[in-house]
Structure 1
Amino acid sequence: MAPHQPCVKYQYVLASKSSTPKIVSVPDQDEESPADYNAGGYMVIKIDDTFKDGRYIVARKLGWGHFSTVWLIKDTHENRYSALKVVKSATRYAEAARDEIKLLSQVAAANPHHPGRPHVVSFLDSFQHRTLQETHVCIVFEPLGETLLALIQRNKKKGVPKPLVKVIAKQVLLGLQYLHDECDLVHTDIKPENILISIPDVEARIHAELSISPKPTSCHVGVPQPTKSRSGLTIPYRHASAHERRVQIFDSQPLSSPSSRSGSISASASSHNFQKKLSGTTPIGGAPVSQLRRNSDRADPAATPHDPPITHSGSSSTSSTISSTLSTPAASDSSVSTAPTSVGSADIPILTKIASLTITSAPPDAKFTLPLNAGIGMASEQHVSTSPLIQSHASSDIQHATSGPSLLTQTAPHQSSAPSLDRIPSSSSGVPVPSLPDSTPLSIKIADLGNATPSKRHFTEDIQTRQYRAPEAILGRHDWGTRADVWSVACVIFELLTAEYLFDPHGQGEMFTKDDDHMAQIIELLGDFPLDAKMGGRYSREIFDHAGALRYIKTLRPWPLNRVMTEKYLFSTSEADGLCSFLEPMLAVDQRERKEVRDIVDHHWLDVKDEEWVGVDGW
């Protein structure tokens, strides 16, 4: 039996047969809520439990999400470790999981020889597990390491090293090209949490980690009685069991990911290896600002009418992969992040909890942002965007010291220059596709296909997590397609480089909504766009007037991307020009002008020269 870990947090709850509140212990909020173990919720799972007639044996808990818990399992048939996602039993979750399985099967079967296939998570098995009371859909995936979010966390002072960002960007684009061109799927939720780092020689690494890691720890807690909501009032159900039900909640133990310190990167090795021939595919072990915990932002707690729940095939989508930071929607939230297959790093203790992936609030020091009201007049309708970019540039409240570095200098990541490595293009299905080197410092995989949808036959029109949402999705247009993913990738690349969001909108009471602020930030950064592109969406008339001007935000302060990179992030002119030549076509506000993945996967900015690795001794 797993050793007990004392619980140190408490909360008031209603007693089962009385309205008198009592204090009960609750588990650390880095783990799932015991209330979600009521009917329709999580399955109670313990170490050494078995699934599918004894084939899968539970080794430890990897993480959890809004719709599932994720466990490291031993596959006794294949003699390997895998990741098992056990979905909540409620009908809406089960239906969404079945839809996800169909998509995963489609992706797995499309074109195994495409160079982007290794950069999409591998689906291994699925089945239903029946308990005495309920049935849970279970999905088996390859075990993966940490997400790009964790990589950003570790590099939040200066951003992820530029050559590593280029490697990641190339692989993400290859993976998306596979989804777009071979599967005709739009991912619709590209973000750092949904891109994971593959673990090379994963079996040996897992064996080694299990041999040295402590035994799983857990906490026994009472399960609150289920409640129902009527007109916003939470009411406990009248029927209650004679004895309080208790559940054992295990602490998450995500797998650590490789790092350069374990031999993935070295200046001398890269100088030799990056000149090797380029192959058609990368190793099958696939490859991943701001806040340590950003889900409070991503969940849009103050959701406007433009932030409806994302649904999939008529039901709330469950997270796509167990091997991912499964990001999925919850009622009234635009998106919430859910459990990874495994998250961690060689630089983080093995038992580090996945606070970055659970539904808790962000720590105050996780990301640099200025006050929400910076630059906003108290009694006027004038607006200064609350984006970290625009705030740092435009706020009149910022005081620059007469001696020492400026605020921009203090907060902007310092970047090294970014030249490139020659490529040998190859092709698949008639579309030119570049290959990656035989030896790359890391390999990533795109995960969470739970919200993926065909490019022309949409399962839902409410897509993308707020900070990565394309203009056409903000406006509620129905003609979006694969280019919406391209916008999200550009936002992720910027975030990797700077450790800050590119767009982070906020509503201002009754003055303007998040959608208003989001569109204002986009125009400030990228310029205005045609009237016909603004109109035609469900929310177009709420955001723009008949002339195409923002309806509620009258004053904009433009700060183009090139100037942002040089003035805030201290890029050289040539560095900024190179980056902008890559990102700006991906950030064309009018989706008709935005590049497809196939058009940018060959871009010269993605090339890496050996000398760029000098000084990159850790990530």
Structure 2
Amino acid sequence: MAPKPPCAKYQYVVTTAGPKILPVDEPACKDEESPADYNAGGYLPVKVNDSFKQGRYRVVRKLGWGHFSTVWLVKDAESERHSALKVVKSAGRYAETARDEIKLLSRVESFSPDHPGRPHVVSFLDSFTHTTPEASHICIVFEPLGENLLALIERHKKKGVPRALVRVIAKQVLLGLQYLHDECDLVHTDIKPENILISIPDVESHIHHELSQSPLPTSRRVGVPLPTKFRHGVSIPQNQQRPRRQVQIFNSQPLASPVRSAGKSGNGSLSNGGSGVNSVSGSYVAQMQISRLGSSGKAGSAGVRQRINKHESESGLSSSWKDRLASSLGTSLSWRDRLPISLSSSPKSVSNISPNTNVTSLPPVHPVWIKIADLGNATPSQKHFTEDIQTRQYRAPEAILGRKDWGTRVDIWSVACVIFELLTAEYLFDPQGQGEMFTKDDDHMAQIIELMGDFSVDAKMGGKYSRELFDATAGALRYIRTLKPWPLKRVMMEKYLYTDADATGLCDFLEPMLAPDMKDRKDAKDMLDHPWMRACAEDEPVDQW
């Protein structure tokens, strides 16, 4: 006997024509873009085997999606090689951002191709406009790359990425930023694990192998919700008599990294050789898992830390994690009052990367090769496109304060946060608001001062939000009075059980990049030869990642 189809669900809504009972929209594909974003101004519906630019690019499968675009693996008929095609939403604000990105990518391509940092910035191949009867979408073609550093962190979330591997990644990120900062005069403004991708050696052979082994693309047809307007807090669906469109949403199949170890298990998992931490939370400031909402407004899958878009709402959580933590554990609200987590393995290392690396090849001696991607938010250092920069957890103090005199050093702050996150699989800063008591910005500045110490009143003033956060005379925080310092070295020793020597070495590397006063912060070129990124005698080669 055939199973019965599930019962349809309905909801009571208020429309312009009065109250109505309407069917509930089908849920979107898990971890894929929302069908609602296929309305006017949104994504272009794309299917496997669709073609672009007069048949030059043929769609092979979906690689992923973001707030601004969907990304597809395509076969280039001219070069007979594969590329990554980014199809941007059609709304004017997204098109303008895409045009800015194309200008910046062209600028990056034209400067100093022999600079050792150039291979660590993604390569831009082509751009064009795809026009349909409904809208026009800007498309950008890139070299195909593998997973981002967030995937690497997730794979090592129990112990952190092996310290040896982090040394190599840190060196390459700093080289890439030195190229952007010093050669191109560009500030990336959104350095975070998602925007640092792992390059795949002999990528064409790897893609052919993966396509022969991986399952065929799968998709799901769902209804596109009708556009809605909000009036006095009530959602009012529009044009209820109009038939609903259907859209085919494909499941993302990002390029897997090549086999990372001879000890890879049959299910594709790896044994973790971590940095010596064992974490249960997305930030070392919170020993509990909390939901973080991304720019799409939906929570991600269980076990995967949720990311926050840089333009996130400041009122996203009705009850902060500090409330829940204090009530459940009976502890102080301070993020410093946490117990250390047991050390389960010692860190290992890898050989140093030479700044004179051949830019056209991928030397086999490097266990990983990264590229900085997503220049859509990049800006000249002196002529800013916007003052609203950086994703929350990686945001520099001058950006939190709303200063306009920031420059390339905001990226250096973000790099230090990313390096800490790689080592620990936890955020360095993850501020939360406390209702009407204080905002995320208040908590963010409190966490920075508790970790790095106080800084001058001059550095605190001069920003759009300075007087909202600090008292102009004394320089004290207005709404968070009680601070309990927990310096970075103590954090590494007490929570992550680093030895005194290891903690000292790491802090000597990170603290110059985390100077709260941007005038005291180091540049990328100042950090490239730091001893922490050199191989240590006790380090073992990285044979898996």
Fold match, TM over 0.5?
yes
Paired residues of 2:29 and 2:220 also in contact (CA < 8 A): no
- The verdict on how the C-alpha distance between 1:377 and 1:529 changes in structure 2, with shifts beyond 3 A counting, is farther
Aligned pair 1:499/2:425, yes or no? yes
Aligned to 2:397: 471
User: Structure 1, residues 40-93: CA drift from partner, whole Å, max 9, x if none?
Assistant: 111111111110000000101111111111111000100000011111111111
1:56-455 to 2 correspondences below 5 Å: 56-238=57-239, 240-241=241-242, 243-261=243-261, 290=282, 296=292, 333=313, 372-374=323-325, 384-386=333-335, 390-392=336-338, 407-410=339-342, 414-416=345-347, 439-455=365-381
* 1:134 shift after superposition: 1.0
Q: Distance in 1 between matches of 2:153 and 2:442?
A: 28
Q: Distance in 2 between matches of 1:511 and 1:198?
A: 45
Q: Distance in 1 between matches of 2:327 and 2:406?
A: 33
- The verdict on how the C-alpha distance between 1:157 and 1:200 changes in structure 2, with shifts beyond 3 A counting, is same
* 1:229 shift after superposition: 2.7
SS of the residue aligned with 1:523? Answer: helix
Q: Distance in 1 between matches of 2:290 and 2:194?
A: 10
* 1:145 shift after superposition: 0.7
* 1:168 shift after superposition: 0.3
* 1:467 shift after superposition: 0.6
Aligned pair 1:509/2:435, yes or no? yes
- The verdict on how the C-alpha distance between 1:570 and 1:417 changes in structure 2, with shifts beyond 3 A counting, is farther
Paired residues of 1:421 and 1:610 also in contact (CA < 8 A): no
Aligned pair 1:531/2:527, yes or no? no
Deviation larger for 478-487 or 250-259: 250-259
Paired residues of 2:431 and 2:440 also in contact (CA < 8 A): yes
Paired residues of 1:87 and 1:136 also in contact (CA < 8 A): yes
Aligned pair 1:594/2:521, yes or no? yes
SS of the residue aligned with 2:292? Answer: helix
Q: Which amino acid aligns with 2:189?
A: T
Paired residues of 1:228 and 1:237 also in contact (CA < 8 A): yes
- The alignment's TM-score, normalised by the length of structure 2, stands at 0.85
Q: Distance in 2 between matches of 1:37 and 1:7?
A: 25
Q: Which amino acid aligns with 1:290?
A: G
- The verdict on how the C-alpha distance between 1:173 and 1:22 changes in structure 2, with shifts beyond 3 A counting, is same
Aligned pair 1:572/2:521, yes or no? no
* 1:421 shift after superposition: 5.3
- The verdict on how the C-alpha distance between 1:57 and 1:14 changes in structure 2, with shifts beyond 3 A counting, is farther
* 1:35 shift after superposition: 1.4
Aligned to 1:581: 508
Q: Structure 1: any 5+ residue segments left out of the alignment?
A: 1-5, 265-288, 302-324, 335-359, 362-368, 393-406, 429-434
Paired residues of 1:180 and 1:482 also in contact (CA < 8 A): yes
Paired residues of 1:80 and 1:203 also in contact (CA < 8 A): yes
Paired residues of 1:153 and 1:290 also in contact (CA < 8 A): no
* 1:424 shift after superposition: 6.1
- The verdict on how the C-alpha distance between 1:328 and 1:503 changes in structure 2, with shifts beyond 3 A counting, is closer
The share of aligned pairs that are identical, in percent, is 62
Paired residues of 2:168 and 2:352 also in contact (CA < 8 A): no
Q: Distance in 1 between matches of 2:8 and 2:204?
A: 37
Q: Distance in 2 between matches of 1:602 and 1:159?
A: 24
- The verdict on how the C-alpha distance between 1:427 and 1:245 changes in structure 2, with shifts beyond 3 A counting, is closer
Paired residues of 1:148 and 1:192 also in contact (CA < 8 A): yes
User: Structure 1, residues 185-219: CA drift from partner, whole Å, max 9, x if none?
Assistant: 01011000110101111111111111121111111
- The verdict on how the C-alpha distance between 1:595 and 1:47 changes in structure 2, with shifts beyond 3 A counting, is same
Q: CA RMSD in A?
A: 3.5
Q: Distance in 2 between matches of 1:104 and 1:10?
A: 47
- The verdict on how the C-alpha distance between 1:134 and 1:260 changes in structure 2, with shifts beyond 3 A counting, is same
Q: Which amino acid aligns with 2:449?
A: I
Paired residues of 2:290 and 2:321 also in contact (CA < 8 A): no
Q: Structure 2: any 5+ residue segments left out of the alignment?
A: 265-280, 284-288, 298-305
User: Structure 1, residues 311-370: CA drift from partner, whole Å, max 9, x if none?
Assistant: xxxxxxxxxxxxxx999656x648xxxxxxxxxxxxxxxxxxxxxxxxx99xxxxxxx97
Q: Distance in 2 between matches of 1:30 and 1:197?
A: 21
- The verdict on how the C-alpha distance between 1:153 and 1:376 changes in structure 2, with shifts beyond 3 A counting, is same
Q: Distance in 2 between matches of 1:155 and 1:569?
A: 15
* 1:230 shift after superposition: 3.3
Report how many residues are paired. Answer: 505
Q: Distance in 2 between matches of 1:550 and 1:566?
A: 28
- The verdict on how the C-alpha distance between 1:83 and 1:326 changes in structure 2, with shifts beyond 3 A counting, is farther
From 444, 457, 461, the equivalent of 2:383 is 457
Paired residues of 2:75 and 2:81 also in contact (CA < 8 A): yes
